Structure 1
Amino acid sequence: MKKILYFVMSLGLLMSCDMDLGQQPISDPAAETYFQTVDDFNQGLNAVYSSARGYPDRLMNLSETRSDNLYAVSDGGVRDWEGVNSFHQNIAANPYIVEAWQTNFTGIFRANNYLEQLAEKGEAVILEEDVRRQMEGQARFLRAFYYFDLIRYFGKVPLIDRVVDAPEAKTIPRSPVSDVYNLIIEDLNTAIDYLPAPSDYAAADKGRANKYSAKMLLGLVYMTRSGPDLGIEGAGLNSNEWDEAVKQFNDIIASNEFELLPSYARIFDYTNENNEEVIFNIEYATGSNPAVGSTFPWVLVPDTWFRSLGFGAQGGLTIRPVSTELVDKYETDDVRRGFSIQEGYEDGDNVETRPFIKKFVDISRVPITSRTDWPINYIVFRYTDLLMLKAECVLNGASGSTDTDVDDIVNFVRERAGLTSPLTGVTKAQLLEERRREFIGEGIRWFDLIRSGTVENTMNTWIEEEDTGGQMRDFQIDYVLYPVPQSEMNTAPGLYDQNNGY
């Protein structure tokens, strides 16, 4: 299968952005002369995709590390993730937070430019209407994807749905989350209309956004909106749209395009990419110069473990231990524990007893020349997640299914994990814990806690139990959101108010 290359050298100057919001060369005259051929539009669309390259790393750093899955306090020296994990207030300049804001907006700016060029020139250049619609659908899906990522981390953000120049950008304030959702939903509905099913794509394009990835994202949007508002102007709006989410999920189920794999390990097998579980993934290509493979398998793995296996240091990362409380939540026969968690190793005379997440590492595929060139895609949406999200909607009152359906979903997941004791009358709390064990390392837990309204109680209880050394701050509800990066605050002083708590 041809990979969607996320490093488009021919568009490097054309589509690049100085990352500060006030310095967007979006109206660069080069854009006016570039989109002249079908290949130009294909390359331009790949450039819109390129902002998704770091998405899985962001989930590891800002979602997984923020949650009760990891106890990632300092382990010799100050690490960028420490303030994220320990709820420091002075993290507005944290590089992970800055990256989340800047990279998502870069993707949005590229999508805006692409959509305007497609509207202006597409009909003359691309004769097939269905091809133009597919291109527009992909760009709209990606713009919605980037905006959804932003509001889950920051709440209110500037709403920019067209090409703007630098002076105008400095005048655009943060918009209410509800307004941003309006654009996201409009984009996704258009994408659903315009995009084909995965089976309708040519083999070379299987990794692109499809009708059902748009439906999956839209269902998750409805669920996230339905979560409590928590008084923070975040992504939850108390909208009670659980039925709307289920409609999207049921359409995906009825398509028969996807199915649950019988083996947990096979979902993540390097030789089984784009398997039946995959609704949407971020594609990577390896062996290029510069490297454009994935980096996420390495993010949560300490370099000394690679060294203990004879690979040499991989770049200076220290351990981010899995919390003891989570390890203890796995039942004895749960295959997900051994697959996902490395529990100790020896590095010369040093013995490390703390566990860490190794879920995405295949030792036979460790890239020798560059740690940024792993040959594995990242699964953004998988079918197991869809079914368990549907179960969550049912437990929140969505119609059309029963509690027995919820039990069936959870018990299949447990059976695949090697657990033979079925559950009956599954509760919301049990579902959340099963999701926690199933999706460890996938950056889902933090958002589950927020959407369920359990984040404050869960995190404070966990901190009291896990943080015996007193290195973490007490959790406050304001910490559901990250601060607006200080660089953005400085670009146009007074334009933004900082999020509470920072």
Structure 2
Amino acid sequence: MKSKYIFTAILLVGLGVAGCNDVLDKKNLNAVTAEDTWNDETLATAFLDKCYADNLPDWSADVADINQYSDEGRGGEDFFYAGQLTSEGGGGPTKDYWPYEGIYKLNVLLDNINTGTLSEDVRKKIEAQALFLRSYRYFELVKRYGGVPLILSVQDRKESEVPREKTSVCISQIVNDLSTAATVLPKSWSGSDAGRITRGAALALKGRVLLFYASKQFNRNNDAARWQAAYDANLAAKEQLEKDGYGLNSTYDGTWKDNSDASELSKEVIFSKRYSYPANKSDINAGVRPLDYSQGATGWNQPTLDLVLAYPMADGTVPGVDIDGDGVKEPFDPTATDERGLFWVGRDPRFYKTIVTNGMVYPLADNQYPEQRQFTYKGGEIEIANSTKTGFYSCKFINPVVKKVDVRNYDLDLVEIRYAEVLLNLAECAAEVGNKDPEVYTILKEIRKRAGITANADELYGLKANMTKQELIDAVLFERRIELAYEGKRFWDMRRRMMFSDPEYKGYARERIEIELTDAKKELSLNDLAKDFANGGGESKLNSVDYFKYFKTIVTKIDNKFQWDVDDNHYFFALPKKHLEQNAKLEQTKGWNDGTFDPLL
């Protein structure tokens, strides 16, 4: 059984402690005072654990929802059209994000933890964890809005009106607090404390913060000093993590393929939100699966054709196939009926641990169809609102042994930072700083080797030799897209690099596929088709041009109403209107409804 944070209600803990007092004690046994809390390790830890619960990310809001607003997912069409973005605060990534209630509780702890009689070691470790959580919250605010009210001590929330602080000041505070936390926190925790924040997590988050601050969204003039600071921070994080025993797991999906402590607290996991059924469960396993194998939740992470076609080949080279033997690859074309149409054949092994397309095996132990095949052609699955709208499903994060009846009784931890991201953060900074080509190549090859890509004769794992500085940067960003798919990172990467304004994405529309039975097979029922694949060798039918005897494919657009058009002024979100109305000292962000606050200062 997994060990988790003990999210204990302080009142209940207090009652348990008070129950040991003499019956003649006149003290109110039903109350726990502030003095009690900061004098008792159990109570202080319970307060901290409530802060954990209130300030950590969530699978649905912070990962699955965000995945829809990039070229990974199918949702959020309105967001990419500039005319639909308003300072009112809409849905999706522009929805109201204002976590000052959680920050208030952290400030209560930070203001009081050193006032009691706890030992110095206990006090400092609790304080360091609170500093990390507050830094995490403020960074989530800053990456959305730029500078925000920087409240570092308890204030009367009804009376105080705090203006926005400069973005640079907020970043400095976040970085300093993380540095302080890293000097106190241990390399790991054991027993019931397993999974708490470590010094490696503080250094890794610091590296991520400085990576964002060096990126184009914050750094329009490409100040080289910011990239150097980000490089130094990420190198320090990598080196400390290695000393503390962290590293890549042996397999790409080893971090989330089951929900045992062996995987969820593996050497790759640096910072995560822990779940424990039934007190704290997640719908990620139910949400990702097709409804055939789920209940009450589905429709998450349906891949776009754009993402599917992006994966490299098994040898790491660009996707495509040489069909005429001239040594030049033709790009995959899902509408073709020759090898160019077999876009799922011979791809990067991470493809098959992330993407499921028509006729592929959905990797579950209790799949109801023969050979466990998931058919996504029209009529090939239940006609429901949340059946795939892209022609694809994902299988990343699913636990194959969880049965449909138990799919919502699930508690997979959300890994917010893992070692592979730290490596990629470092590689990106190294590429930007320049003259560090061997370091970038080493990291990219290490990640590709772990993924299962073949080394090839040149031992470059499909990477181009002697890349230019820009080619190295692009190679790292591409690897992030593949390695971190559906982990809630792509949307933020596209924002911090201001990709939505690139010519590649201006007027862009994501694509999907629609699959139908051929005229010769249109009378086949789903059961008969499944039996035909089972009896006739499903893999040979799926992975050869025999597939096109059964299916024909067309490509259509996901973004039919609007095409992507995000203005440079909109990379920092507007403050929601209600907060401007509640605090007269708040300025709206420049570029939004007469905004005057400059998020670049």
Residues 1:370 and 1:108: Cα distance change in structure 2 (over 3 Å) = farther
Deviations 1:143-177 (A, max 9, x none): 111111111112121110000112343x1011111
Residues 1:495 and 1:349: Cα distance change in structure 2 (over 3 Å) = closer
Following superposition, the deviation at residue 119 of structure 1 comes to 2.1
Q: In the comparison of the two structures, how many residue pairs are matched?
A: 456
Q: 1:384 aligns with which of 393, 406, 420?
A: 420
Residues 1:85 and 1:357: Cα distance change in structure 2 (over 3 Å) = farther
Deviations 1:280-324 (A, max 9, x none): 111111122xxx12344455x37xx22x22x4332xx64664221
In structure 2, the partner of 1:180 is: 170
In structure 2, the partner of 1:23 is: none
Residues 1:163 and 1:30: Cα distance change in structure 2 (over 3 Å) = farther
Following superposition, the deviation at residue 275 of structure 1 comes to 0.6
In structure 1, the partner of 2:310 is: 329
Residue 355 (structure 1) aligned with residue 379 (structure 2): no
* Partner-residue secondary structure (3-state), 1:365: coil
* Residues in 2 aligned to 1:230 and 1:460: alpha-carbon distance in whole angstroms: 20
Residue 374 (structure 1) aligned with residue 374 (structure 2): no
Q: 1:115 aligns with which of 95, 110, 131?
A: 110
Residue 194 (structure 1) aligned with residue 184 (structure 2): yes
Letter aligned with residue 337 of structure 1 = F
Letter aligned with residue 141 of structure 1 = F
* Partner-residue secondary structure (3-state), 1:139: helix
Q: 2:85 aligns with which of 85, 89, 112?
A: 89
Q: 2:356 aligns with which of 342, 348, 353?
A: 342
Following superposition, the deviation at residue 457 of structure 1 comes to 0.3
In structure 2, the partner of 1:69 is: 72
Mean CA deviation greater in 56-65 or 201-210: 56-65
Letter aligned with residue 66 of structure 1 = Y
* Residues in 1 aligned to 2:306 and 2:62: alpha-carbon distance in whole angstroms: 21
Deviations 1:229-250 (A, max 9, x none): 56899x9997332342244234
In structure 2, the partner of 1:484 is: 575
Following superposition, the deviation at residue 461 of structure 1 comes to 4.3
Residue 206 (structure 1) aligned with residue 202 (structure 2): no
Mean CA deviation greater in 56-65 or 110-119: 56-65
* Residues in 1 aligned to 2:134 and 2:561: alpha-carbon distance in whole angstroms: 41
Structure 1 gap segments, 5+ residues each = 15-28, 73-80
Following superposition, the deviation at residue 136 of structure 1 comes to 0.7
User: For the Cα contact (< 8 Å) 2:285–2:407, is it kept in 1?
Assistant: no
Residues 1:366 and 1:11: Cα distance change in structure 2 (over 3 Å) = farther
User: For the Cα contact (< 8 Å) 1:229–1:237, is it kept in 2?
Assistant: no
Residues 1:483 and 1:367: Cα distance change in structure 2 (over 3 Å) = farther
Letter aligned with residue 52 of structure 2 = Y
Residue 2 (structure 1) aligned with residue 39 (structure 2): no
Residues 1:237 and 1:42: Cα distance change in structure 2 (over 3 Å) = farther
Deviations 1:463-499 (A, max 9, x none): 2564562434412123322232233223235633145
In structure 2, the partner of 1:248 is: 236
Deviations 1:20-47 (A, max 9, x none): xxxxxxxxx9656654422110110001
Residues 1:86 and 1:115: Cα distance change in structure 2 (over 3 Å) = same
Within 5 A, what are the aligned runs for 1:402-413?
A: 402-413=436-447
Following superposition, the deviation at residue 367 of structure 1 comes to 7.9
Following superposition, the deviation at residue 450 of structure 1 comes to 3.5
Q: 1:146 aligns with which of 133, 137, 140?
A: 137
In structure 2, the partner of 1:239 is: 226
Deviations 1:401-442 (A, max 9, x none): x31232122122223323224213451111111110110001
Following superposition, the deviation at residue 449 of structure 1 comes to 2.8
Residue 261 (structure 1) aligned with residue 295 (structure 2): no
* Residues in 2 aligned to 1:237 and 1:98: alpha-carbon distance in whole angstroms: 30
Following superposition, the deviation at residue 354 of structure 1 comes to 1.9
Q: 1:430 aligns with which of 475, 490, 505?
A: 475
* Residues in 2 aligned to 1:433 and 1:458: alpha-carbon distance in whole angstroms: 17
User: For the Cα contact (< 8 Å) 1:137–1:192, is it kept in 2?
Assistant: yes
TM-score, normalised with respect to structure 1: 0.81
Of Structure 1 and Structure 2, which has the larger fraction of its residues in helix?
1
Following superposition, the deviation at residue 82 of structure 1 comes to 4.8
Residues 1:202 and 1:313: Cα distance change in structure 2 (over 3 Å) = closer
* Residues in 1 aligned to 2:59 and 2:585: alpha-carbon distance in whole angstroms: 32
Q: Which is higher, the Rg of structure 1 or of structure 2?
A: 2
In structure 2, the partner of 1:18 is: none
Q: 1:164 aligns with which of 155, 162, 168?
A: 155
User: For the Cα contact (< 8 Å) 1:230–1:477, is it kept in 2?
Assistant: no
* Residues in 2 aligned to 1:232 and 1:485: alpha-carbon distance in whole angstroms: 25
Following superposition, the deviation at residue 359 of structure 1 comes to 1.4
* Residues in 2 aligned to 1:248 and 1:63: alpha-carbon distance in whole angstroms: 29
Cα RMSD, aligned residues only? 3.3
In structure 2, the partner of 1:78 is: none
| Runs of 4+, deviation exceeding 6 Å | 235-238
Residues 1:152 and 1:296: Cα distance change in structure 2 (over 3 Å) = farther
Identity %: 22
Residues 1:114 and 1:295: Cα distance change in structure 2 (over 3 Å) = farther
* Residues in 1 aligned to 2:285 and 2:88: alpha-carbon distance in whole angstroms: 26
Deviations 1:380-406 (A, max 9, x none): 11111111211111111167xx31232
Within 5 A, what are the aligned runs for 1:219-234?
A: 219-229=207-217
